Chains A and B, each alone.
Chain A
Amino acid sequence: MEKDLDKVVEEIMATSNVSGCLFADHQGLCLAAKGTAHVDSAGIIVAISEQACKLQPNLKPPTVSLESDQKICLIQRHGTITGAIFKLKT
């Protein structure tokens, strides 16, 4: 059932500098997680994207980039699905 999603996850993980990725539904429940992404962070990732959407509700959901010294976390919402990609800084 989740073969297609698994394929997307594999593709993302094969990209250079990607250390983890996570997908969650609109209820903040984890659909898939791989690498450094932790299942428990699904709810918080969805909450962050929800809050960002409130900034300009008429436009399509923004991409949120959280940056630390060594890593970047990109959060993007598409319909009811929210995806997060954890990347190493180059």
Chain B
Amino acid sequence: MVDDLRKHLNQLLEKVNGLHCIVITDRDGVPVVRSVTEKAPQLALKPNFISTFGMATDQASKLGLGKNKTIISMYSSYQVIQINKLPLVITFIGSDNCNTGHILALESQIDPYLKDLESVVLDAP
């Protein structure tokens, strides 16, 4: 199952110009599946970076606009798109000029694989 998903993520990675990596983690930033190119910044793949999203999305959900779904962070040379699929978090890292809309559209193509992964993460002690 995970091999299929990894293969699928690799294919998605090739579809979007400037997309460096797709990582599926739990809310603590522990990677479950990841597909990474050599251009991805190693610092952004560390759990302490990814787990910040868990807190940020919780706080953003308190703004009275409903549950927070996505956080897009633009940096000088990278963009980080994180999607709330709690207990899972999908993180995309791309170049600053990468097609954000195209990355957001990938969500629907990853969704079908998440149900099985969710149960794995929930069952984990």
Contact = CB atoms under 8 A, between A and B. Distances in A.
A46 B18 CA distance: 14
A50 B97 CA distance: 12
Interface string A37-52: 0001111101100100
Interface string A13-46: 0000000000010111110000000001111101
Interface stretch (B1-9, B47-55, B58-66, B98-106): B98-106
Interface string B89-125: 0000000011111111100100000000000000000
Contacts of A40: 104-105, 108
Contacts of B101: 24, 27-30, 42-44, 46
Contact of B99 (A30, A41, A50): A50
A50 B98 CA distance: 11
A62 to B, nearest CB: 18
B99 A47 contact: yes
Interface of B: 16-17, 97-105, 108
15 contacts: A27-B97, A27-B101, A28-B100, A28-B101, A28-B102, A29-B100, A43-B99, A43-B100, A43-B102, A43-B103, A43-B105, A44-B102, A44-B105, A46-B101, A50-B99
Interface of A: 24, 26-30, 40-44, 46-47, 50
Given A24-B101, A42-B101, A43-B101, 4 more contacts: A28-B100, A43-B105, A47-B16, A50-B99
